[in-house]
Structure 1
């Protein structure tokens, strides 16, 4: 990281360490802490240029912030708003500028796009839309063009979708003869940008799962010794460390269609393996509501399926060979 990115990481981490309460956030009607979201926007973590009212953060800075949110599993609209902003940045300033300024000011934006099916029309059901029931700015793609749809109009129905990962807000959006404003051509690279952003979040969560496991094995005593001193557990944690660092490398290399698909497959599988080991090495306490281990396992399950499962992206990679 550059010195500026390290400073950003420290600022976001300090904010989340002091103010993030995952369980309290998911119990609210909207599922996230509005004060924490406002502070993140003030820090300037969205990839919006200064000419549109943003801080000028690049994609790399946003990934740093997403990694920190993944680290604490803090519920936040950042991933959804980031993807929506990236889609708008592929358009000319005249059409995208006003929407980007609203996002920079903290308006929640989301993008409904056909990542999980072959939908080719606006009308119909859009599933698994990030923060889709909360978004003030709703962008929709039919695979050819990008549209803005007023989420408050009669032709739009939005319903929160309960998921295993309670810290991730998803929704089902139904459009029935909804009025839509065409903004421009849909850019296929948005899928790859979304995958890279998700991978950055996954790496942050994977690394934290390992940290918590190491801390536990240093303090949990069996047979008069910390369990982390047993050779068999050292081997398992060494394997976890390798998964974390290789996932980090894959995520940082996700810059095009192939590398983004590779990163999605590898980061998803690495996260699940590390989270599963975290539960095993914590023992019975890991499945209690009070401990965080089960939250990481749930996030690993959910993020592994988001934007397409590893099997989907492996098939894409096979088609490229």
Structure 2
């Protein structure tokens, strides 16, 4: 088992981080989330075309890069840390599902960055459902795809990523129960990687603030209560990072371990990410509650991600079943 990033993965991380810092800093994120499409189409075009990130885990024979889920986790951690608006996560989940079905036509467009897609995750609710070219729905052992039909935008907690109610469509492919289960596990790993990025960015923000905010003639980071809270948050980050790397490794190298690793990732990361984002907001004091500060945006993304694939108790129960507890 290798949990330390490879040199290639570190290079990928640095490239994505540099791109997002230049193309989608937080002021740009705010402008994008308040725009009509809810994201910057040019940033998304470059992310999917220039960098080819939606085809990262798509096999080369289907037009993708053929990289692993460990590489995808590296990318999603960075997009999570940057609160990237738009359909990148939605299209990534669709690419995972289409890869598992063996579908080629839609997947080729997704890998090339010319097709945006999403997956219905709960009822008829889908990330970026209103703007997706293709909506995929898991129906038993089938995957349904729809390119038209009613798309009703929802007002949600997280302003940086939109959702919509959509209708299921016609059949794309029949998939084995094992294929559907694996796709759902891979969804869990992908979302956990994004949560890790949100967690890390939230902690980095409050650590930086604690070094400059002065109260009673001392920086707040010098107070024992604040230091202990930050230390606890750092320990949470270290555990979260290990869990995500293990889950991503299992996705690539140990299929038998993937179900347990995926359940553990969601059971732990959902609550951990929200607790750190919440703690960051509270430790910022009054300024953290203002619209102008970014802390509340990380708080909202953390809460939205926590329940995206079901609340943590669902994943804890599944993990307990897998461990025969």
**TM-score of the pair, normalised by structure 2:** 0.88
Question: Could you list the runs of 5+ residues in structure 2 that have no partner in the other structure?
Answer: 251-257
| Match for residue 17 of structure 2 among 13, 19, 22 | 13
Question: What do residues 129-185 of structure 1 show as CA deviations (whole Å, max 9, x unaligned)?
Answer: 111111112222112111222x22xxx21111111111122111124xx5x133121
Which residue does 1:121 correspond to in 2?
Answer: none
Which residue does 1:127 correspond to in 2?
Answer: 124
Contact 1:147 1:184 (C-alpha < 8 Å) held by counterparts: no
SS at match of 1:228: helix
Which residue does 2:255 correspond to in 1?
Answer: none
Cα deviation for residue 319 of structure 1 reads 3.3
Which residue does 2:37 correspond to in 1?
Answer: 30
Moved more, 294-303 or 48-57: 48-57
Which residue does 2:173 correspond to in 1?
Answer: 183
Contact 1:148 1:183 (C-alpha < 8 Å) held by counterparts: no
Which residue does 2:281 correspond to in 1?
Answer: 279
Q: For residues 318 and 55 of structure 1, do their structure 2 counterparts lie closer, same or farther at Cα, with a shift above 3 Å needed?
A: closer
Cα distance in 2 for residues equivalent to 1:191 and 1:90: 10
Which residue does 2:301 correspond to in 1?
Answer: 299
Which residue does 1:4 correspond to in 2?
Answer: 8
Contact 1:8 1:65 (C-alpha < 8 Å) held by counterparts: yes
Cα distance in 2 for residues equivalent to 1:89 and 1:174: 22
Question: What do residues 171-206 of structure 1 show as CA deviations (whole Å, max 9, x unaligned)?
Answer: 11124xx5x133121521111100100000000110
| Match for residue 57 of structure 1 among 55, 61, 67 | 67
Cα deviation for residue 38 of structure 1 reads 1.2
Contact 2:150 2:166 (C-alpha < 8 Å) held by counterparts: yes
Q: For residues 45 and 303 of structure 1, do their structure 2 counterparts lie closer, same or farther at Cα, with a shift above 3 Å needed?
A: same
| Match for residue 139 of structure 1 among 136, 150, 153 | 136
Cα deviation for residue 215 of structure 1 reads 0.3
Question: Could you list the runs of 5+ residues in structure 1 that have no partner in the other structure?
Answer: 117-125
SS at match of 1:76: coil
Cα distance in 1 for residues equivalent to 2:321 and 2:12: 39
Does 2:46 align with 1:39?
Answer: yes
Cα distance in 1 for residues equivalent to 2:159 and 2:124: 17
SS at match of 2:124: strand
| Match for residue 215 of structure 2 among 222, 227, 241 | 222
| Match for residue 239 of structure 1 among 228, 232, 237 | 232
Cα distance in 1 for residues equivalent to 2:289 and 2:125: 26
Question: What do residues 37-64 of structure 1 show as CA deviations (whole Å, max 9, x unaligned)?
Answer: 1111121223222222223332222211
CA RMSD of aligned residues (A): 1.5
Cα deviation for residue 303 of structure 1 reads 0.7
Contact 1:261 1:314 (C-alpha < 8 Å) held by counterparts: yes
Cα deviation for residue 74 of structure 1 reads 1.2
Contact 1:66 1:78 (C-alpha < 8 Å) held by counterparts: no
Cα distance in 1 for residues equivalent to 2:172 and 2:117: 16
Cα distance in 1 for residues equivalent to 2:198 and 2:39: 18
Moved more, 290-299 or 98-107: 98-107
SS at match of 1:89: helix
Cα deviation for residue 102 of structure 1 reads 0.4
Which residue does 1:119 correspond to in 2?
Answer: none
Structure (1/2) with the larger helix percentage: 2
Cα deviation for residue 234 of structure 1 reads 0.8
